[in-house]
Amino acid sequence: MRPSLLNPLFAPATSLPGVGSKIAKLLDKLVTESGVGARVLDLLFHLPYATIDRRTRAKIAEAPFDRVVLIEAQVVEHYPPGPRSRAPYKVLVEDETGDVLLVFFLTNHAWIEKSLPVGERRWISGKLELWDGHRQIVHPDRVLDAEGLAKMQAVEPVYGLTEGLPPRVLGKAIAAALERLPDLPEWHHVPAVAKMPAMPSFAAALRALHRPENPEAIEPTGPARVRLAYDELLAHQLALALTREHLRCAVGRATQGDGRHAAKILSSLPFELTPAQTRALAEIRADLASPSRMLRLLQGDVGSGKTIVALLAMASAVEAGREAALMAPTELLARQHYAGIAEYAEAAGLRIALLTGRSAERARLLSALASGEIDIAIGTHALFQESVAFRDLGLAVVDEQHRFGVHQRLALGAKGKAVDILVMTATPIPRSLVLTYFGDMDVSTLPEKPPGRQPIDTRALPLERIGEVTARLSRALATGSRAYWVCPLVEESEAIDVAAAEARFATLKEIFGGKVGLVHGRMKSEDRDRAMQAFAAGKTQILVATTVIEVGVDVPEANIMVIERAERFGLAQLHQLRGRVGRGKAKSSCLLLYKTPLGETAKARIEILRETQDGFRIAEEDLRLRGEGDVLGTKQSGMPGFKLARLDVHGDLLKLAHEEARHILATNPKLEGGQGKALLLLLYLFERETAVKLLGAG
């Protein structure tokens, strides 16, 4: 159970004064994913990204231009615009050194009259400019009387906002949240950490960030932010370490196949395994055969042939008299896996079934699973629902890992006694990040692709030349080509994504008529499957899509990929999308349509993509390019997110956190005593309570 000390932090934001249901809705949107209710802690973790520094006070004549200054002045005269005039409302103020015009466009006149009474003294903050020979401040950000001045924050934090949420309202909510922040016992005890320069306490760090004393206080490399980033990384590493301990201690079982099914599968394949596939398979089989529990990651680029390795591994489990399960993040992918391997599995006499959330024969399949009449079950997360029981699950393969979390890994692992777990990533992960996300696993890598792949001709074109693209498409379609057309990613809203895709669908339909299909995330899954199948069967030749096709979709005949507004996609994502083509015999191309002018980073991304098709290299470059403000865990990276840590800045702390977590488990594995209690608080604060539960489970 969560320690009661933390209850105020996990209370809903509506428990704060001034936060009603309307504001709470906006806060939900701002600080939480997927619309769960914002809590006090979420507000505290919403850190400022900039500050407004109002410490510079100056006489008017001496005040610097083009930066925020605070002046003390007397109101001289008002110049309201004439009726129906669109001119601004101006107010002249002065001190003994000179005067300034305050300029207001479309502002409530009554407010101006009330705030700036003629003859009175006021403190005015804003950016001073020289315009037409006069000093002016357009829309001062503060107009204060003496009382207001006393309350003013000299260094004001600036927060990311969402539409409809005024900065002042957010600022007040966060200030109220700070009032609820208790002082917590220190959880760091390791010498290396204690030596970090001037590490403030958790609460002091949050206060320092939300009430900055100077602009430097909020810098990502400053002590407050470093402290919190380190806390988050430690919570994560500790949870991983606890999970690993739990899984490793859980009794394993030797699952030794005799190779009979595998041999049949191999002889039915139209190709030979690559050396990398053979090596990975040997590593997996060694784990299966050993009495301890397997927890292994199979890493490889799109199309590197992970699925067949997984199938052969599952065959080993079946040879040993047990069952295997393969779990994909979406139903579409589960179906594709099934379609891709059923033939080989059946050729080897394996009984394979697709089990999805809505299959009509679900009940029959469930009882077949429980009685062991199915050797290999393929499905989505529906496979780890409680109603699903296996007779003797030996191996669980989880595809496209980073859509799942530690939590799901555990749920599936709990499905059988001593289930070995093999995780397959959707894309290569930079070496430095493997530790972060898979710190608890052994790794097998497929660094090269099967032979015979043709390079994908990759080009970038400005959006204005879209006509050339459609012309090229009509020529290609005439020769039987199939093309994906991916529409822009709009971070804020899936609804806008969909609207963009629908609009493109409509314009392409005008040109290509019934040859065009559409899929997006808001469609009913039946409709989406139907559209996918029509494309796979060649009934449609252009498939307009949002990024739902990003992962794993496999139509070998598709050989053209058009990505619209490519500058909006992350590098890893572009690489994933491009990987949807180049899977068949025909020569493939990828057209990146971008909007001018192209920013530096977007330019660099497109350059790298044109230069290489090596997913591992792209992953490294992606990490390197991901700059300022782009935290891992955004939609772009598709990785599980950190709220406070930024791996580009705080990456070095990761190793330290990893070591501290190991040290903790070595010295205090049950998290007992004062330090143990404090560490539990840490795990709860960063919502790693699944790991906390393992402590009791033993």
With CB under 6 A as the contact rule, the residue among 300, 329, 413, 570 that binds ligand ADP is 300
Smallest separation (angstroms) from Mg ion to the CB of 583: 11
342 binds, among ligand ADP, Mg ion, none (CB under 5 to 8 A by kind): none
Tell me the C-alpha distance between 641 and 631, whole Å. Answer: 8
Asked if 277 touches ligand ADP (CB under 6 A), the answer is: yes
Which is nearer to ligand ADP, 434 or 598 (by Cβ)?
Answer: 434
Q: Given the complex with ligand ADP, which of 305 and 488 has the nearer CB atom?
A: 305
Beta carbon nearer to ligand ADP, 456 or 500? 456
Residue 661: how many other CB atoms lie within 10 Å: 24
Q: Which of 299, 304, 613, 636: binder of ligand ADP (CB under 6 A)?
A: 304
What is the spatial distance between Cα 689 and Cα 405, in angstroms, rounded to a whole number? 13
> Which of 536, 541, 534 lies closest to 553 in space, CA to CA?
536
Contact 437, 641 (CB under 8 A): no
Token pair belonging to 608: 């790298």
**Smallest gap from residue 588 Cβ to ligand ADP (A):** 14
Q: d(Cα 114, Cα 599) in Å, to the nearest integer?
A: 45
Q: What angle do CA 45, 50, 51 make, to 5 degrees?
A: 110
Contacts of 263 (CB under 8 A, 6+ apart): none
Ramachandran region of residue 629, left (φ > 0), alpha (ψ -120 to 50) or beta?
left
**Which residues, other chains included, contact 235 with Cβ-Cβ below 8 Å and sequence gap of 6+?**
682, 683, 685, 686, 688
Distance CA 447, CA 248 (A): 27
Min dist CB 333 to Mg ion, Å, is 8
Interface pattern 394-433 for ligand ADP (x via CB under 6 A): ----------------------------------------
> How open is the CA angle 161-165-171, to the nearest 5 degrees?
75
Identify any residues that bridge with 462 across adjacent strands, giving them in sequence order: 594
Q: Locate 290 and state its tokens.
A: 């050993």
Minimal distance, residue 306 CB to Mg ion, in Å = 6
Shortest gap between Cβ of 23 and ligand ADP (angstroms)? 45
227 interacts with, out of Mg ion, ligand ADP, none, CB within 5 to 8 A per kind: none
Does residue 80 bind ligand ADP (CB under 6 A)?
no
Q: How far is the CB of 341 from ligand ADP (least distance, A)?
A: 9
- The residue among 332 and 410 lying less far from Mg ion, judged by its C-beta, is 332
Is 576 an interacting residue with respect to ligand ADP (CB under 6 A)?
Answer: no
278 contributes a contact to ligand ADP by CB under 6 A = no
| Dist. CA 464–CA 597, nearest whole Å | 12
Binding mask 547-586 for Mg ion (x = CB under 5 A): -----x----------------------------------
The tokens describing 349, both together, are 């006499």
Question: Closest distance between Mg ion and the C-beta of residue 303, in Å?
Answer: 8
Residues touching ligand ADP, count (CB under 6 A) = 14
Judged by CB under 6 A, the residue of 126, 222, 252, 305 near ligand ADP is 305
With CB under 6 A as the contact rule, the residue among 252, 303, 517, 582 that binds ligand ADP is 303
The position carrying tokens 């070496």 is 431
**Whole-angstrom distance, CA of residue 58 vs CA of residue 478:** 72
d(CA 554, CA 535): 11
Of 29-37, 88-96, 241-249, 546-554, which part binds Mg ion (CB under 5 A)?
A: 546-554
Considering the complex, what minimum distance in angstroms separates the CB of residue 446 from ligand ADP? 7
Extract the tokens encoding 607.
């350059």
570 binds ligand ADP (CB under 6 A): no
672 binds, among ligand ADP, Mg ion, none (CB under 5 to 8 A by kind): none
Q: Which residues bind Mg ion (CB under 5 A)?
A: 552
Q: Which residues bind ligand ADP (CB under 6 A)?
A: 271-274, 277, 300, 302-308, 450
